[in-house]
Structure 1
């Protein structure tokens, strides 16, 4: 790992998450690290007054950390440019340098007179101008895992489906009335009935149970996975379900790098007084970039939530998930952007099956949908085949990767009712 990634990550990562670009600072020599290291003893003394001193103290209790600092003080590097700053001992204590409490250490040093504040500002600007942070940046992966991912629950399930109470009847009514969910539930069961346990991602997971496309795979087949839900209230409910999957409250980035976005959430009287209506209303939530946001405004009172967005590949790589069996993507009009951000960067994660809710861009909210051939051809260009699509509103598309193990088996056993003849949906010519 280059020295700049080892020494500077805490300072660089915060602006990167906001969507501002970052990169290796060509300005290391401008900061004159030799001068900084020469003043390090005084800095460490002042650090005793810093509220984050316990973090540093934990590492100083480790003999290798003390040896590392002593080595740095004994031979400060010459201030001749970034190539000369390669102290071998720095990678030995990455926890010391990445401690969240030390993210503000440069600002603290500036306040104590050890680093010139204007020089620090120039450094940050030059470093950010180098370009966006990559989805697989090692410090970003670590930050995502520590701040935006929670591990699978070890507690017993807390599901309405399993509690057997009469109060759950209203909640579970979707299991016989939600046509699009019934279609997908049946299709997923058929598609994976003879497949070994895999790994799923469900983006737009709501409370982790209501109209979930992944719950049956987890409960009945022992799949592992990742549930993504950006709505803070829904995410709190999701955690209480005790799903045996990773969870994240980050929104999926619509760009191939981290950024922030505003989520518009809608509530009305029924949503505030009835649990099921509250879950239904969440289906109108959307980011401010959604093209049909004005149409959604008529379905409730809007509230706003600022959210951190991370590339889907970042979340997956953070938990070492490089092979995903199924991704269910329901992100309310942002699916094209999320998909583009996934494939516009270096693809480091393979996905066998995509299940994507998508409405034709010319069809308004709640109007009868029609197939989007541009969307289908885009997926075909990425090496996928259209397995089937649910002809409800909006349409659910199911694509299978051509060189995946499931492709041949799935198409060989595809029921006739799942076969799609796209010619049937092409505009008819008038003779």
Structure 2
């Protein structure tokens, strides 16, 4: 099985990785952006270079767009799909063999809705969406407040903590456990598996990272399969039990949907919480305004999403010939990178886009959650969690500050931190 995974890695990541490394060495900004070894630290200056005068940019990996209106249009256009091809430059025999290798269930593989075009997308999304209706999310509000208070109480016993491990990751994983019916004791398993699976969203990851991801997805598959069988025998009152009991999805589809629920409800929240803290600490005037006028927090959270989005990019497949305003003709079968971070820093849409401003009136128009039929299914839950957790953190620890340099995750698609030492109290 490892040999088959190695073939899949070579086709999807190994050869593109070599290409990116070669281009990066020549200073190519797109290769630098896509390589988690460099673009993770400051992607926005690279995005400004790539945006240039606008329009579709031709890259080694296909096409890329960085303008707000063009990104929004493509995300809502059914001439683009989400089932991505293996790079056509990969030798045909390798590509054909790799396409037949089935990976363990994960958020970027069919039958996950993230990798399905209509009509299958709608069939998969509809039952999962029940976890994120306004009523379902509102019912989770009390649990979010309880978890936040428990975590803050535990942190208060220490002068310094790792904000990512002790707070930013713990809030969403507790809520996901509530949705999925997992025992609290199993949360560390999913935190570890999630950190290993996250690199699959990038292109050109190392064989070591891919091997860890495959081991994690395999372990998650086994755990979730046993959990699904248990819920069939003994359903609980959690949302996932309801999804299992309806019979709308088979076991394979339930496994894929569980991955979606965990991804949609965890990564964005964890990364946004982590990104927000140093952002606010480095803009003390904005933090002071929020403390003086706490009713501004909802709009401030939208500005945080715009300014430093957790999900930097997504991708689409060209399904039919497309040309925008006499620009580059897009060839069917090729991939197109949609830069959500680029859209959110487009000066045409957001004047002075590199300025963090919690009073920005159109901040909520960001594309951090995407748009259209593939818009983030967990957006309302993320907003609820952040609105509860972030103000409570700064209220409980008014003297909070960084206690060393935070460590960025070396990823291109998901932007966040792996470690963030903070001091909670003044000396």
TM-score (norm 1): 0.25
Which is greater in Rg? 1
- Normalised by the length of structure 2, the TM-score is 0.26
Bigger fraction of residues in helix: 2
| Larger RCO: 1 or 2 (CA < 8 Å, sep 6+) | 2
